[in-house]
Structure 1
Amino acid sequence: DGVHVEVSVVDEGRGIPSERLPHLFRKFSPGEDEDHGGDTGLGLAICKGIVEAHGGRIWAESEGPGLGARFVFTLPTVDDAPPELIRPAVRAQPDPDAGETILVVDDDPQTLRYVRRALAVAGYNPIVIAEPREVLLAMEEHRPGLVLLDLMLPGADGITVMRDILAIADVPVLFISAYGRDQVVAEAFEAGATDYIVKPFSQTELVARVRAALRRQDGSSKLQPLEPYVYGDLAIDYAARRVTLAGQPVELRAKEYQLLYELSVNAGQVVTHDQLLRRIWGAKRPNDLRTLRTHLRRLRSKLGESASNPTYFFAEPRVGYRMPRGAERAKEEEAVSDPVEGGLSNGSAS
């Protein structure tokens, strides 16, 4: 993972507004911002390029206007052993999420190489891109199980990019950034980030955070419901893993039962195509919907229904599928909403 030396320079000058910190090392044109005071707009950008070219990181910290600033950069130490004699990283123990596709978005080539190698060694399938405008296309093409996203991207705000991602996919998003200030971190979490990794970070920390995020995502839908699902003639006994239709057992294959399970435990809500693919096929999920639709067609047939005349689950075009709430839950909700059933009356008491 390497050892880094950290160097900091502190001043007691005019300070830096918090909203400018994420953009401080970008190039700017004269006149673009009056606060630059006639600077050429290249100094800090050049510093960033030099430091990152040597495998380091650079960032700035400030409590605000009039409170000074602290500029920090790190550089890796030199290893006495020649590169060919350095012991390669040891592959970790097999992980249930091994093979999962991870999308990495960062405009720094050094970071992309570093993260790609760490993920590949850990058994993941990293897809790296530098352009934020390619993110949504990559999401559609590769269907990643997790996204590592740089907070500061050229011509784009990382939080805005994350919102675009979460609008089309149910995936954990981890920010990677040199800015670890509380305000920035809080804004990222409030916008929907799963985690936040501050540069520089070790490969061990990166992989550990990725694994933790994937496990939380996988476990979110695996709490075993206590009560069976009953709707019409269909009954699902989760504890016994048994499905019956009008009292007769229905023989389902593993994937068919998993589909029925995911839809029924989320009854009354739409489960998206992406959620079904991720929860059932995991890292080996297909890149299109044909496999999902084939299994659903077989499941419908075994439940005695068809897509044109559904009874137990319904398609939401271009989104996913939905099952109606079970009988017991529907009765409870009806009792709450019905003024007579709930013990209230519109008439006068006699």
Structure 2
Amino acid sequence: MIDRRTILVIEDDKYISHFIDISLSKENYAVLTADTAAEGMFLFSSHHPDIVLLDLGLPDRDGVDLLRELRSFSDAPVLIVSARGQEREKIAALDLGANDYITKPFHMGELTARIRVAERLLQKSAAEGADTRFSCEGLTVDYEKRKVYVEGAEIHLTPTEYKTLLLLIANRGKVLTHNYIISQIWGYEGGDSKSVRVFMANLRRKLERDTAHPRYILTEVGVGYRFSDV
């Protein structure tokens, strides 16, 4: 029998929190609720939930700051559920390592679908847990320590850059389209492929010795990218 997933809901709106609690409990999730950042951090530290649903407009602390703190020590999937709908706010949260961003008001069916995506990420991570390191042509990724090295030198990546590198490695040899990368990393369908190209160029500059002749991240012109399967 598979244990129930535990979901921590950090939301100060009592109505929304109760609605999510009731709905997810019916889907056989164990639900914890907190209406402040302080209580949310306490419950996270004491119960180690599998997934976090995080509102940004908390009364005692901005949710972005709480996300930053969570990401400093945990890889647990964090889904932002917020009334803040501006693109720059979404990008900021996703760049800090949020797995997804759902704007209020939302349909519960959409939220549970996003949670199932996060569950698949957990299952995949558990299946790959035996492999604690990845090495290829001088590039080494230490999954346990979340560190990346090129020719023995540590390379500092942002949470989004690190997540993108892991996505490419997990699908090495397979072409990933611009839209696929956007959906997996930033959590929405469609988007500006030019922005992806700029982002990937920055990631390449950190990893590649010669960006004109990359060893790791290869371009499929007009389509997307793939990680070398050499």
The TM-score bracket by the shorter chain reads 0.5 to 0.7
3-state DSSP class of the match of 2:144? strand
3-state DSSP class of the match of 1:111? helix
Give structure 1 regions of 4+ aligned residues with deviation exceeding 6 angstroms: none
Aligned to 2:115: 210
Q: Does 1:107 align with 2:12?
A: yes
Aligned to 1:65: none
Pair 1:161–1:123, CA change in 2 (3 A): same
Query: After superposition, where does 1:1-350 map in structure 2 within 5 Å?
Result: 99-220=4-125, 222=127, 262-263=129-130, 265-267=131-133, 269=142, 271=144
Distance (whole Å) between structure 2 residues aligned to residue 182 and residue 108 of structure 1: 23
- Letter of the structure 2 residue corresponding to residue 170 of structure 1: D
Give me the CA root mean square deviation.
2.1
- Letter of the structure 1 residue corresponding to residue 108 of structure 2: Q
- Letter of the structure 2 residue corresponding to residue 266 of structure 1: T
Distance (whole Å) between structure 2 residues aligned to residue 165 and residue 106 of structure 1: 16
Pair 1:118–1:190, CA change in 2 (3 A): same
TM-score by length of 1: 0.37
Rg: which structure is higher? 1
Distance (whole Å) between structure 2 residues aligned to residue 137 and residue 175 of structure 1: 18
Aligned to 1:277: none
Distance (whole Å) between structure 1 residues aligned to residue 60 and residue 40 of structure 2: 13
Q: After TM superposition, give the deviation of residue 180 of structure 1 in Å.
A: 1.6
Contact 1:97/1:211, CA 8 A, preserved across alignment: no
Distance (whole Å) between structure 1 residues aligned to residue 77 and residue 93 of structure 2: 12
TM-score by length of 2: 0.55
Give 1 or 2: higher helix fraction.
Answer: 2
Pair 1:201–1:191, CA change in 2 (3 A): same
- Letter of the structure 1 residue corresponding to residue 144 of structure 2: V
Contact 2:25/2:31, CA 8 A, preserved across alignment: yes
Size of the aligned set, in residue pairs, is: 138
Q: After TM superposition, give the deviation of residue 98 of structure 1 in Å.
A: 6.3
Pair 1:97–1:161, CA change in 2 (3 A): farther
Ranges in structure 2 where 5+ consecutive residues have no aligned partner: 134-140, 146-230
Q: Note the alpha carbon deviations across 1:209-253, whole angstroms, 9 max, x for none.
A: 111112123213535xxxxxxxxxxxxxxxxxxxxxxxxxxxxxx
Aligned to 1:33: none
- Letter of the structure 2 residue corresponding to residue 182 of structure 1: E
- Letter of the structure 2 residue corresponding to residue 271 of structure 1: E
Contact 1:98/1:124, CA 8 A, preserved across alignment: no
Q: Percent identity?
A: 33
